[in-house]
């Protein structure tokens, strides 16, 4: 007999316990009063509710497991997947995804910054080392490896310096940044300024100190050259000045009325005064050139014209020494960017040296030719090479590297005897440097010398075709 729905009346509350995840949940159901429904029906409803709670709990645990796996994947650097979750868990997953994406972005930014820092350190011109507390090198940039060896082996020789050792101990003791001037004896002696910086806290690899080595070899040599220059200039001026003072005192005293002494002394005094004048003029010229050395010239200069003028001006001196000049100019030479007065001085100084130190009755060659790019010699573009060759006694090889130093002379007595100031080639070098050119010296004892100046062609002039010979 079918049941009919009861009339509304008292209700019976049925509670079913279920576990959703780790939290217990109570499911409530309102049942009709006992007099309106049978006990069997109540049991069936309770069972249904229990099964629903179990299924719901299983689904909840499954979604939590999925979410946990996804978060672990995101933690390992993978993307956060989109999961079909219950709305509360979906909101948690979305928030976790945003957090993971932010962490990945910050991690990528930190990695990029670290890589940039490594690139910057690798490109530093100074040698940089990270040292442990025992002064063992842990990290070396390329400049440090070039200076100290691939594994920093030469650092041990450097640390034997008492000054550097003391600076290292003071830095480790927390006494601030320390500096010390040291000499690295191997493989080539260098003057270095060492700076030590304490890392606090230490790096994860045990790095405790940063050591920066700045090469001061060139600066020290320049300081020494400057001191030598002042000493040499003083000496060069003092010698003719002392000679002049001595002759003047003689002529004012014992030889005041001695015509023969006057006739003998006055030419010598004139020579000494002229020597002083040449020296002062060369010093002033060198000073002016050095001031302009970092400002490249902008005018276009025809070296062939300058060479012909220089050859004409040299004629009287060539005749006095019974020498001949052979001038060879390649047709169609390009112009160069330069200062005409300074380039004329280069030619004059080189030809002057050839006349002074060439063989009397000998030959001087002045040659101008095209000279294109040459990677081995540092010529990166087309240009003009000017060579002056003499057939004098030549120069010993050991003197060649120092010929352009101020007041450096291979034979000091002979140089003074022929009126040299010791500054001619120094002036040539600085002028060539200003013109972004090159100076090459070739010499062999008994076979003469060749001085070659290479100058880059003016912009747009390097591609000029050689001029055709007349009548071609």
Residue 48 confidence (pLDDT)? 67
- Displacement of CA 211 from its chain's centroid (Å): 18
Sign of torsion over alpha carbons 117, 120, 121, 122: positive
Position 56 confidence tier, pLDDT thresholds 50, 70, 90? low
Residue 80 confidence (pLDDT)? 56
Position 187 confidence tier, pLDDT thresholds 50, 70, 90? low
Position 194 confidence tier, pLDDT thresholds 50, 70, 90? very high
What is the token pair recorded at 17?
A: 């316990």
356-393 pLDDT tens trace: 888 889 999 999 999 876 654 556 678 999 999 999 88
- Displacement of CA 322 from its chain's centroid (Å): 52
Q: Assess whether pLDDT exceeds 90 at residue 455.
A: yes
Residue 206 confidence (pLDDT)? 87
Q: Are 410 and 400 in contact (CB under 8 A)?
A: no
Q: How far is Cα 129 from Cα 138, in angstroms, rounded to an integer?
A: 7
The region of weakest confidence among 288-297, 303-312, 435-444 is 288-297
256-267 pLDDT tens trace: 788 888 888 888
Residue carrying structure tokens 């055709």: 468
Q: Nearest 10 degrees: CA dihedral of 315, 319, 320, 322? A: 140
Mean pLDDT across 271-287: 81
Q: Assess whether pLDDT exceeds 70 at residue 295.
A: yes
3-state secondary structure 312-341: HHHHHHHHHCCCEEEEEECCCCCCEECCHH
């Amino acid at each position: 007999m079918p049941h009919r729905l009861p009339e509304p009346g008292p209700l019976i509350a049925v509670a079913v316990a279920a576990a959703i995840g780790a939290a217990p949940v109570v499911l409530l159901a309102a049942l009709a009063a006992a007099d309106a429904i049978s006990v069997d029906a109540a049991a069936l409803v309770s069972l249904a509710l229990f099964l629903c709670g179990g299924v719901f709990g299983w689904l909840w645990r499954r979604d939590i497991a999925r979410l946990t796996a996804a978060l672990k994947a995101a933690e390992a650097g993978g993307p956060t997947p989109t999961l079909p979750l219950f709305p509360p868990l979906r909101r948690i997953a979305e928030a976790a995804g945003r957090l993971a994406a932010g962490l990945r972005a910050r991690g990528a930014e930190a990695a990029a910054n670290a890589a940039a820092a490594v690139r910057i350190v690798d490109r530093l011109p100074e040698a940089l080392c990270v040292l442990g507390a025992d002064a063992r090198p842990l990290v070396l940039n390329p400049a440090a490896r070039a200076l100290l060896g691939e594994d920093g082996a030469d650092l041990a020789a450097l640390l034997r310096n008492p000054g550097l050792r003391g600076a290292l101990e003071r830095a480790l003791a927390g006494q601030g940044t320390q500096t010390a001037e040291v000499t690295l004896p191997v493989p080539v002696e260098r003057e270095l300024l060492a700076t030590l910086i304490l890392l606090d806290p230490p790096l994860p690899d045990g790095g405790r100190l940063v050591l920066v080595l700045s090469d001061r070899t060139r600066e020290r040599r320049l300081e020494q050259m400057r001191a030598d220059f002042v000493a040499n200039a003083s000496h060069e001026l003092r010698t003719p000045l002392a000679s002049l003072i001595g002759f003047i005192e003689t002529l004012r005293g014992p030889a005041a009325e001695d015509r023969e002494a006057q006739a003998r002394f006055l030419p010598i005094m004139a020579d000494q005064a002229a020597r002083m004048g040449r020296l002062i003029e060369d010093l002033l010229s060198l000073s002016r050139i050095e001031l302009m050395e970092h400002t490249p010239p902008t005018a276009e200069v025809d070296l062939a014209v300058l060479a012909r003028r220089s050859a004409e001006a040299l004629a009287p001196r060539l005749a006095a020494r019974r020498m001949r000049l052979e001038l060879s100019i390649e047709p169609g030479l390009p112009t160069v960017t330069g200062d005409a007065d300074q380039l004329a001085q280069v030619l004059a100084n080189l030809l002057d040296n050839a006349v002074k130190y060439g063989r009397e009755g000998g030959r001087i060659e002045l040659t101008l030719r095209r000279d294109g790019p040459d990677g081995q010699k540092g010529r990166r573009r087309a240009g003009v090479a000017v060579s002056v060759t003499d057939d004098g006694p030549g120069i010993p090889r050991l003197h060649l590297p120092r010929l352009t130093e101020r007041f450096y002379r291979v034979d000091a007595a002979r140089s003074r005897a022929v009126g040299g100031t010791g500054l001619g080639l120094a002036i040539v070098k600085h002028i060539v440097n200003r013109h972004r050119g090159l100076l090459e010296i070739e010499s062999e004892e008994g076979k003469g010398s060749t001085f070659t100046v290479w100058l880059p062609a003016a912009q747009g002039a390097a591609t000029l075709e050689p001029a055709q010979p007349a009548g071609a």
